[in-house]
Each structure stands twice: as C-alpha cells, then as structure tokens.
Chain A
C-alpha cells in the first residue's frame, strides 16, 4: 500500500450568510486505497485534535448509491473519475504532492449551509410537485401481470438510476436541473403505471424547476459527463417532448 502527501484547499464558510474563502491544509501519508471522504475524515480528525472546526461535508451510505455526498474537486463534480460519486473516488487517482481544490456544489438554488454542506431541498420540491404515482396501480401481483416491453423497462430503470446527488446542476454552465428533472419524469413516463398523471407531471415538475431558480438548458452535455450514474441526456430530449406535448394538450 502506497501513501501520498497532499495540499488541500477547501472552501470554508461559517453559515449561509457568512462570506467564505479557501483555506489551505496539508495532509501527510494518505493511503492511496482510501476513498476521498476517508481522506477528509483523516483531515477532520487532525483538525479536531488541533482544536479547530472540522470541515462539514455531506455523506451517508459511502457506497455510491444514496446521492448524499458530492463536491467540486479541481473544477469537476465528484472529481476526475467517470461515473463515481465522491465516496467511491479513491486517492489512487491522485499523485504525491498534488494540490486539490475542494468547493461545494453551487447553484442559485443550492444555498451553502456550511463549508461543503449545501441545501438541495429544491430537488426534493421538484419531486414533490409530481415525481410520483398517486393513482391506484394495484398490488405486487397486479404489477407483475402488466406486460411491459423489456426495452421500456430497461430505459425506465436507466432513468431511475438517478440518485439525486445534484452534480448535474453543479456542473451545468447555466445551473440547469434538466438532467435530474428529465430522469425523474422519464422513469414514470416510460411505464404504464405513470401514464395517468403523465401530462400533469411534466407540466408541474418543469414549472417547479423554473420556480426554484435553476437555469436554462443549453445542451452543453456537462451534466451527462459528470453524472455518477451515467444518466443520458436522451432523457432531456424525452422531457422536452413530454413537456411540449403536455403543454399543448393540457391545462
């Protein structure tokens, strides 16, 4: 097992109203088998022992499936490796003597609460506005008795892989939440259970997305490139279509 020495520049901010700035820390002998968050744990242990405030960051499952962690590492959401969350990024992707700049995910709709901790409840409110099925679709047996073409169910499953980490918004040059919203609309629009509320869902979720202050999509594809679950922008095309059709025939 090899180890590396690092210089970290981390965004420190006391609370939402305070002004933040980058603080520099040095860390020695970081094992390359550690995950990025374990490296931050080591830093926080050190800061705590020195009587300083530890760095606040979001995390939960640490196995890349909950969508809680995330930060901008040297300008890239979730760091340099493809299709991983920050907790699944390992220190072997860094070199001895590297300086790593760590900033929180940013968006007009994501207030920084403290250090790397942000408030992503805007994404929850998009889900609350229509990302569900509220009609009775029957029990488990009924569910299995509904024939669904495997291609449809696979596409729905691909969209449902979204863990809502919000990296798409953070990496979008316009701070748009289109990849997130399109995945949440697609996973239901592709399945028979989602058909009843299909139009209202597209209208309500896009309306909520706009209301939260997310930007406009310019098809820059950055979201797809950093998404830890590899959600395709084909979902955005689907959302555009869903929304247009819904707006022209409903409400």
Chain B
C-alpha cells in the first residue's frame, strides 16, 4: 500500500513527527489564548472554562484527537530515537559537533520526555481534578505550591528548547526552506516558543510569586 510505504520510510516517519508536531503547536496556541484569561481575573477564567465545558462534544473530540496526536508523536519519536541510537552510539573516539547552538537538536528526545512527564502531571492535576471544586480554585491551589510551579516552569523551559529546534525542523521536513522565508522562519522558531514560555510560564510565575494571590 502506498501510504504504508510512505509512513514506514525514514522521510515518512519524519513527516508523522512534523505533522503531529504542527497540530500540537496549533493546539498550544489555543490553550495559551484560553489560559491568558487567568491574567484578567478568576471570574473571567472560570467563565471561559464553564463555556468550554458546556459543549462536552467539542471537549471530547479535542481530547481524543490530542491523545492520538501525542501518542503518534511520542511513539514515532521514541522509535526514531531508538533506531538512531543503533546507528550512532560511540562511533568515534573523539566526537565533535561543528554546528554551533546544537544543544536543542541534540536533546530533542530528552526535552520531549520532560514535556511528556509534565503532561502526565498536568492532566492528572487539572483534567482529572475533583469535579466539585471550580477549576479557577484548583489552578490557584496547585500553582501556589512553590515546587509544583517550579516543575511547571522547568517543563516550559524544556518545551521552549524542544520547539526552538522542532519548529524549524518541522518546516524543513515539509520541504519549506527558501532564502526568502528563512529569516522569518528562524525568527518564528525563536518567537513562538518564547511566546509559549511567556504565557504558560507567566501563569506559573503569577501564582508562584504571590502576584496572583487575589486573582
């Protein structure tokens, strides 16, 4: 079958990573926009959450799609990590990377696993939080804990590093590499992860520092 051949090839596996990565980034954008309401007030945030959950079908379809996307991204990512380790472990006595700022590309599997760990903590803490407590209260309760927030901030830094290679890499896999757009792409590759760090990290810091005490 043509799509089995496509998806089992080395380029096809990269395309699965790029497509699922792109869709997850798009989800993060909607998530960041929603979370930004926290900076308004607890009422605004609660109102947003109530409105969203008054459409259970939307939430269900989104949740299932995200689960499939995350599973694809993680499973194929780990498979590629394992495959590449077969090829590359201790090839040379001296190994030197010529490319400067290669930290992000070298640590993709590790920053990805940190984000996965964060995801399980985050879903356990918020998606499956007690139903009788308002989500705006849960947010404050959980994130006011210094170490809980610190873990969040560290995870967001890992996400920023992950995307600072991932975003460009995704476009490269789609075949988008043109001198006219490469400057824009490199700016977006820095700007989009920093935007996420600003919003998501900002929420954690908001409660961590006590600024959000009476939000």
Contacts of B124 in A (CB 8 A): none
Chain B residues near A (Cβ < 8 Å): 2-3, 5-6, 9-15, 80, 83-84, 86-88, 91-99, 102, 105-106, 108, 165, 168-169, 172-178
CA distance A238 to B169 in the complex (A): 13
Contacts of A76 in B (CB 8 A): 96, 98
Interface residues of A in 198-227 (CB under 8 A from B): 206-207, 209-210, 213-222, 225-226
Please state if A175 and B9 are interface contacts (CB–CB under 8 Å): no
CA distance A174 to B87 in the complex (A): 6
Please state if A217 and B98 are interface contacts (CB–CB under 8 Å): no
Interface of B, secondary structure class, is: helix
Please state if B11 and A206 are interface contacts (CB–CB under 8 Å): yes
Please state if A74 and B11 are interface contacts (CB–CB under 8 Å): no
Chain A: number of interface residues, binned into ranges: 35 or more
Contacts of A210 in B (CB 8 A): 9-10
Chain A residues near B (Cβ < 8 Å): 22, 72, 74-76, 101, 103, 106-108, 171, 173-176, 178, 206-207, 209-210, 213-222, 225-226, 233-234, 236-244, 247-248, 250-251
Task: Pick from A216, A233, A236, A240: contact of B83, CB below 8 A.
Answer: A216
Q: Distance in Å from the Cβ of A66 to the closest Cβ of chain B?
A: 23
Given the interface pairs A174-B88, A241-B174, A241-B175, the reply to whether A74 lies near B96 with Cβ below 8 Å is yes
CA distance A11 to B108 in the complex (A): 32
Please state if B10 and A209 are interface contacts (CB–CB under 8 Å): yes
Task: Pick from A75, A107, A209: contact of B95, CB below 8 A.
Answer: A75
Please state if B2 and A22 are interface contacts (CB–CB under 8 Å): no
Contacts of A219 in B (CB 8 A): 105, 165, 168-169, 172-173
What are 24 residue pairs bridging A and B, where the CB atoms are less than 8 Å apart in the complex? A72-B92, A74-B94, A75-B94, A75-B96, A76-B98, A101-B93, A173-B106, A174-B87, A175-B87, A210-B10, A214-B10, A215-B87, A216-B14, A218-B105, A219-B165, A219-B172, A220-B99, A233-B177, A237-B173, A239-B11, A241-B174, A241-B175, A243-B9, A247-B9
Task: Pick from B88, B99, B172, B178: contact of A215, CB below 8 A.
Answer: B88
Contacts of A237 in B (CB 8 A): 172-177
Please state if A218 and B95 are interface contacts (CB–CB under 8 Å): no
CA distance A175 to B90 in the complex (A): 12
Kindly report which residue of chain A lies nearest to residue B86, judged by CB atoms.
Answer: A108
Q: Distance in Å from the Cβ of A23 to the closest Cβ of chain B?
A: 12
Q: Distance in Å from the Cβ of B102 to the closest Cβ of chain A?
A: 6
